[in-house]
Structure 1
Amino acid sequence: MKLNRRKFIGTTAAASALLAAPMAIGSGHGRAKVVVIGGGAGGATAARYIAKDSNGEIDVTLVEPTRTYYTCFFSNLYIGGFREIDSIAHSYGTLASEYGVNVIHDWAISVDRDAKTVTLAGGSALSYDKLILSPGIDFVDGAVPGWDLNSQNAMPHAYKAGSQTELLKAQIEAMPEGGTFAMVAPPNPFRCPPGPYERVSMVAHRLRDINPTAKIIVADPKEKFSKMALFQEGWADNYSGMIDWIGADFGGGNVEVDPHAMTVSIDGEVTSVDACNVIPAMKAGRIAEMAGVTDGNWAPVNANDMSSKMDENVYVLGDATSQGDMPKSGFSANSQAKVCANSVRGALTGSSVFPARYSNTCWSLIDTDNGVKVGATYEATEEKIAKVDGFISATGESVDLRAATYRESVGWYDGITADMFG
C-alpha cells in the first residue's frame, strides 16, 4: 500500500464525486449552520469537505484559536533535524478564501446543547444545527507526580506542536557533552502511539551528530509499545548503547520528577538530567468535557457517523474520541472527518450518505531514510469502529524498502495537509 500526494487527494476527490448533489431541506431560517471547534486534521478536514461539497447550502464556521497550525505529525522530524519548523506550519487562509469557511480565531469556552449555541472567549455566541468537536487532547492533572502545566517550560511535553517543539529541540541541543536526556512516556491510550518512540529515535539521531556520548533514558509505564520490535532493532543498529528503555516490569511506571532540581526518580532511583520530555496521560480536549459529551476522559461516538452517543447533533473527531479500534492519529482524524462530513451534509441537505469506511497509517522515522509504518482498515459496527485487516513493516527490511517507506510518508504529509487546508 503506497500513498503519495496525488493518490491521497485523488482518492478523496473520487469519493466526493460519488456524492449526490445537495438538495436543501433547511428549517426555514436560512442556510443550515455547522460550527466546527478545532482546526487540526479532523476539524479542518470536516470544515473543508462540508463547505466544498454542499455548494454553499451550509454555512460553515471553524473556531480555532491559533492563526498558524503546527502539525504534531512530522514534528519529531523537526527535532531530529530533518525538517524546518516552517515546513509543519499551516494557515487557514485558503479555507476562507476558496471554500467560504468562516474562520474565527478565538477560544470556545462553553457549549449550550439545549440552545445549540457555542460561546467564545471574545463574547460572541454562535448558533448551530450541527456541532463538530475536534479539540485534540489535554493532559490528566497529576498524571506525573511533580509535573503540571506550570512546569512545561522546564520539562516540555511537546505533544502539542509549535513553541513546545521548538523549546524541546533547543534544550536537547544545549545539553552538555555526555549529558542525559530523559523521557517520561504516557500510558495508553494516547495521541500517536508510535510518537514517543519516533521522538526517542530523532533525539538520538540529533545527539549522535552533536553530542555522541550523551545518554537517553525512557521511563515507560507500559510493557510494550507500538512498533516495539522495529524501534528496538533500529536503536540497536543505529544508536547502540545510547538508549535505555525502562518498561513497567522494571519500574518505568513509578516515576516522579522535580523540574526545579531537574531530576527524575524511577522506582525510587533519582537521576539528574539535562533535558526532560514529560508526556503525561491524556484525555479529550477540555471543550468536549465542557460540552458534556465525555465519559470523564474521552468522548464516546457512534461508529457509523462519529456522532456523540450523548447528543445526535454533536459529532466528535480524532484524538478526543472513544470509538473502538482506531489509534489516535492525524490519519485517523482525517479519515473520520470525511465520514462525519458526508453524514452531516446528508442530514442537512438530503444528499446521499454512504457506508462508513475508515483507514489509518502511521509512519515513523528511525534514522536517515529508515522509515517504518503500521496501518489498518476499519468498518463501522453497532458496537465500535472495528479493525478489518492491518499491516506493519518487518524487521530486517532492506535499505531500499526503508527509504521507499520514508519517501511514501513525505508524499502522504503533502497530501493530507492539502486535504486539510486546501
Structure 2
Amino acid sequence: MALTRRALLGAGALSLLPVAAPAVLGRARARVVVVGGGAGGASVARALAADGAGALAVTVVEPRPAYTACFRSNLYLGGLVPFDSLVHAYDGLARAGVAVVPQAAGAIDRDRREVVLADGGRLAYDRLVLSPGIALDYDCVPGWSQAAEEIMPHAWTGGAQTRLLRRKFDAVPDGGVIVIIAPPNPYRCPPAPYERASLMAQRLKATGRGRAKIFIIDPKDKFSKQGLFQEGWEARYPGMIEWMAPDIADGLKSVDPKTGTVVTGFETYAHADLVNVIPAQSAGAIARAAGLADRSGWCPIDGGSMVSRMDPNVFILGDAAIAGDMPKSAFAANSQAHVAARAVRAGLTDRPAPEARYANICWSLIAADDAVKVGGVYVPANGRITEVERFISQTGEAADVRRAGVVEGERWSTGLAAEIFG
C-alpha cells in the first residue's frame, strides 16, 4: 500500500477528545485509548471501532505519520518488494471512526487513568491498551551504541533503519564480508535474522556477488526453523552463510564501528563491509516507565484477556507482552488484539466475551520461491497462553509446497493490511 496523506485531527478536536463523546443509551461513550499504531495497536483499535456497538470512543496515540512494517522488510532488503509496500497510512482507521492523535505518549498516569501526551495534554481513559512494541538495549554489545546504529544498523524497527541497511547492503562488493549479530531470546520475530541472511545471500548471487560471505554470530545454541534454514543454505547458498553458535564463536566480545571490526572469542572479523547488530530487546519504554513490566523487562498479562497483571484497567499486547508460548510476531499481535478487544468491550458494555483462543503463523523465505512456516493454536491455561496445536514445514518438501507457502505469506500480509488499514 503506497503512503498517502494521513488523516489528522484538528487542534480543537484533540482538546475535546476526553470529554466530547456523544451519548449512547443516555450515557457518554466509554473511552478506550490505544497507545501504539503498529500491528497490535491498529488491530485492536479497528476491532473495537467495528464491534463496539457504538458504545466506545476509540483513540489511537501514535506519533508516526504512517506505520512501516518490520514484517516482510527482509523482502525489501532482498529486492523482492518495493519499500512503499511496507508503508501503511492511518486514513483507514480514521474512516472507521477511530480518532488518531499524532503525538507521542509521554507517560501513563495510572492513578488518574490518563495518557500524558508529549505536549503536556492529557487523554482520559476507561480502558487503556498498550502496544508499544520493543525497546532496544544499546548497551548489550560492547562498542556499539545508539549513535553507532547509523554505522552498524539494526533495522529492527521499521523506517529509516530499514532503508539504511538496504543502502549498506547494496554497497557490499563481491567477495565482501557481512556479519549479522543475532539477539538473545526473547526478541521480535524469532526467524527473522535467519530469513534476512537467506535473502541477502539470494540477492548477492543474483547481482554477481556470489563470493561474498555472511557470518551470523549468535548467542543462542539453536534458533527457530534451524533445520529448515540450514537445509536451504546448503542447497542454495553453499559456502555463503556460516552460523556461529556460542560453542563455535566463543561469544561476541566487542565491535568497533569506526573500523567495521567484530571480535569474538574465536576470530576477529576486521573491516567487515557490513555489520548488522540486532541487540537484546525489552518492552517499549512507556510500558516499563509505567511499572507494567517485571524484572525481565517484558509485561506480564493474563492469558485469557491480555489484561495487565499490574493494572486491571490496562491491556498489553504484541511484542511487549509476555505471551506464554506465542512468539513475538505481527500475526500473534493481531490475534491477541482481537482477544483484547472482546475483553475490553465486555468490561465496558453488557456484551459477554467468548473464551479466548489465539493463533499464529510465521512464514520465512529462504528464497523468492521457497517459504517455510511454523505456527500453532493457543488457549489460556493457568493464567498463561499455552500452545495446544503446532505445525512446521518439513525438510525435503517438494518445490510446489514451498512455492505455495510464498503465496500464503503474501496473501496473509495483504489481508492483514486491508483488515487494519484499508
Is the structural similarity TM-score above 0.5? yes
> Residue 196 and residue 307 in structure 1: after superposition, are their counterparts in 2 closer, same or farther (change >3 A)?
same
For residues 250-289 of structure 1, the aligned pairs below 5 Å read 250-251=248-249, 253-267=251-265, 269-272=267-270, 273-289=272-288
For residue 138 of structure 1, what is the aligned residue in structure 2?
135
**2:23 and 2:29 in contact (8 A); partners too:** no
| CA distance in 2: counterparts of 1:27 and 1:311, whole angstroms | 28
For residues 6-25 of structure 1, the aligned pairs below 5 Å read none
Aligned match for 1:121, one of 118, 121, 131: 118
For residues 341-356 of structure 1, the aligned pairs below 5 Å read 341-356=341-356
**2:378 and 2:387 in contact (8 A); partners too:** yes
Deviation for aligned residue 1:29: 6.4
Deviation for aligned residue 1:254: 2.6
Report the aligned-residue RMSD: 1.6
Amino acid at match of 2:76: Y
Residue 162 in 1 paired to residue 159 in 2?
A: yes
Q: Which string of whole-angstrom CA distances, capped at 9 and with x for unpartnered residues, describes residues 41-83 of structure 1?
A: 1100000111111132111000111111111110000001110
Q: Point out which structure has higher relative CO (alpha carbons under 8 A, 6+ apart).
A: 1
Residue 240 in 1 paired to residue 238 in 2?
A: yes
Question: Secondary structure of 1:201's match?
Answer: helix
For residue 370 of structure 2, what is the aligned residue in structure 1?
370
| CA distance in 1: counterparts of 2:405 and 2:121, whole angstroms | 46
| CA distance in 1: counterparts of 2:250 and 2:198, whole angstroms | 19
| CA distance in 1: counterparts of 2:385 and 2:421, whole angstroms | 26
| CA distance in 2: counterparts of 1:421 and 1:338, whole angstroms | 15
Question: Secondary structure of 1:416's match?
Answer: helix
Amino acid at match of 1:360: N
Question: Secondary structure of 1:391's match?
Answer: strand
Residue 226 in 1 paired to residue 224 in 2?
A: yes
Question: Secondary structure of 1:364's match?
Answer: strand
Residue 149 in 1 paired to residue 177 in 2?
A: no
For residue 197 of structure 1, what is the aligned residue in structure 2?
194
| CA distance in 1: counterparts of 2:38 and 2:130, whole angstroms | 11
| CA distance in 2: counterparts of 1:56 and 1:246, whole angstroms | 55
| CA distance in 1: counterparts of 2:168 and 2:237, whole angstroms | 20
> Residue 203 and residue 58 in structure 1: after superposition, are their counterparts in 2 closer, same or farther (change >3 A)?
same
Which shows bigger deviation, 299-308 or 250-259? 250-259
| CA distance in 1: counterparts of 2:383 and 2:45, whole angstroms | 27
Deviation for aligned residue 1:268: 5.5
Deviation for aligned residue 1:421: 1.6
> Residue 33 and residue 180 in structure 1: after superposition, are their counterparts in 2 closer, same or farther (change >3 A)?
same
Runs of 4+ in 1 over 3 A off after TM superposition: 24-29
**1:217 and 1:244 in contact (8 A); partners too:** yes
**1:34 and 1:131 in contact (8 A); partners too:** yes
Residue 387 in 1 paired to residue 384 in 2?
A: no
Deviation for aligned residue 1:141: 3.8
For residue 309 of structure 1, what is the aligned residue in structure 2?
309
Aligned match for 1:207, one of 174, 183, 204: 204
For residue 41 of structure 1, what is the aligned residue in structure 2?
39
Deviation for aligned residue 1:28: 8.0
Amino acid at match of 2:195: E
Question: Secondary structure of 1:337's match?
Answer: helix
**1:26 and 1:348 in contact (8 A); partners too:** no
Q: Which string of whole-angstrom CA distances, capped at 9 and with x for unpartnered residues, describes residues 145-182 of structure 1?
A: 11121111100000001111111011011112311111
Deviation for aligned residue 1:26: 8.5
Deviation for aligned residue 1:418: 1.5
Amino acid at match of 1:186: P
Q: Which string of whole-angstrom CA distances, capped at 9 and with x for unpartnered residues, describes residues 227-250 of structure 1?
A: 000000010111100111101111
Deviation for aligned residue 1:255: 3.4
| CA distance in 2: counterparts of 1:175 and 1:141, whole angstroms | 25
Amino acid at match of 1:275: L
| CA distance in 1: counterparts of 2:250 and 2:187, whole angstroms | 17
Q: Which string of whole-angstrom CA distances, capped at 9 and with x for unpartnered residues, describes residues 195-238 of structure 1?
A: 10000101111111221111111100011100000000010111
| CA distance in 2: counterparts of 1:123 and 1:209, whole angstroms | 52
Amino acid at match of 2:252: N
For residue 16 of structure 2, what is the aligned residue in structure 1?
none
Q: Which string of whole-angstrom CA distances, capped at 9 and with x for unpartnered residues, describes residues 355-401 of structure 1?
A: 00000000000012101000000001123100001000000111111
Amino acid at match of 1:85: F
| CA distance in 1: counterparts of 2:87 and 2:80, whole angstroms | 15
Aligned match for 1:171, one of 168, 172, 181: 168
**2:191 and 2:223 in contact (8 A); partners too:** yes
Question: Secondary structure of 1:42's match?
Answer: helix
Q: Give TM-score, length-normalised by structure 2.
A: 0.92
Question: Secondary structure of 1:356's match?
Answer: coil
Amino acid at match of 1:292: G
| CA distance in 2: counterparts of 1:390 and 1:27, whole angstroms | 45
For residue 87 of structure 2, what is the aligned residue in structure 1?
89
Amino acid at match of 1:133: L
Question: Secondary structure of 1:312's match?
Answer: coil
| CA distance in 1: counterparts of 2:232 and 2:206, whole angstroms | 16
Residue 107 in 1 paired to residue 104 in 2?
A: yes
Q: Give TM-score, length-normalised by structure 1.
A: 0.92
**1:159 and 1:279 in contact (8 A); partners too:** yes
**Identity of counterpart residues, as a percentage?**
49
Question: Secondary structure of 2:312's match?
Answer: strand
For residue 188 of structure 1, what is the aligned residue in structure 2?
185
